[in-house]
């Protein structure tokens, strides 16, 4: 389980497609503290560490299956691309975001980026099947970042990115047309399931 509070921005170092997609991601994390088999949220996608580097050459490797590639942006990642990273929540850690599973539901597209004071206002286009789960003042995870939804207009919704978030995540680089990984709020998912009966 994650909270949507990004703790590092890594960089794709290597991509190899051979059935599944294998990626190497450079990181600032202390890789000696990462176990093989551990989970790391990579731009919101919970991936399993299958190999890692050394303290002098910090990286970890993950494998993305066809299912992951079909629901996320991972299949479009290229060498040099930045990746929001978060280690899983541990018992006793401060819980500052919202419950994020790392199980991405689909992708959303950046429709508009506009300055708003010192912040950035970003409007996203959500897939119609997921838009009904997004509510004003509710939570959403975009590329692994826990955000509050400002407004909803049909299948579009807006968020406000403060300067700190823009600086410590990939959001300061987003442009119209870019796609991000979208995870709807876990509670919204279960409420909708219960309502269906």
Distance, in Å, from the CA atom of 181 to the CA atom of 132, rounded to the nearest integer, reads 17
How confident is the model over 25-50, as pLDDT tens digits?
999 999 999 999 999 999 999 999 99
Contact (Cβ atoms closer than 8 angstroms) between residue 31 and residue 52: yes
pLDDT of residue 169 exceeding 80, the answer is yes
Lowest-pLDDT choice from 63-72, 97-106, 107-116 = 97-106
Distance, in Å, from the CA atom of 164 to the CA atom of 4, rounded to the nearest integer, reads 14
- What is the pLDDT at residue 189? 72
- What is the pLDDT at residue 81? 98
Domain 106-196 part of CATH 2.40.30.20: yes
Round the average pLDDT of the chain to a whole number and report it: 93
Q: How many CB atoms lie within 10 A of CB 171?
A: 23
Distance, in Å, from the CA atom of 104 to the CA atom of 95, rounded to the nearest integer, reads 20
How confident is the model over 112-158, as pLDDT tens digits?
999 999 999 999 999 999 999 999 999 999 999 999 999 999 999 99
Domain 8-86 part of CATH 2.40.30.20: yes
| Structure confidence at residue 197 as a pLDDT band (50, 70, 90) | low
CATH 2.40.30.20 domain range(s) in the chain: 8-86, 106-196
In our burial notation (b when 16+ CB lie closer than 10 A, e otherwise), range 4-17 reads bbbebbbebbebee
């Amino acid at each position: 389980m994650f909270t949507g509070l990004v703790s590092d921005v890594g960089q794709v170092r290597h991509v190899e497609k051979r059935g599944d997609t294998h990626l190497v991601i450079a990181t600032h994390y202390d890789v000696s503290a990462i176990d093989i088999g551990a989970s790391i949220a990579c731009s919101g996608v919970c991936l399993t560490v299958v190999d890692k580097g050394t303290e002098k050459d910090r990286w970890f490797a993950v494998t993305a299956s066809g299912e992951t590639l079909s629901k996320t942006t991972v299949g479009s990642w290229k060498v040099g691309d930045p990746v929001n990273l978060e280690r899983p929540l541990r018992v006793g850690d401060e819980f500052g975001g919202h419950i994020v599973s790392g199980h991405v539901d689909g992708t959303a597209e950046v429709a508009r980026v506009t300055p708003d004071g010192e912040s950035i206002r970003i409007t996203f286009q959500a897939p119609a099947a997921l838009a009904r789960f997004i509510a004003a003042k509710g939570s959403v995870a975009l590329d692994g970042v826990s955000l509050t939804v400002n407004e909803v207009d049909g299948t579009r919704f807006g968020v406000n990115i403060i300067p700190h978030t823009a600086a410590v995540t990939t959001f300061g680089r987003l442009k119209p047309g870019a796609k991000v990984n979208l995870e709807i709020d876990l509670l919204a998912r279960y409420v909708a399931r219960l309502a269906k009966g």
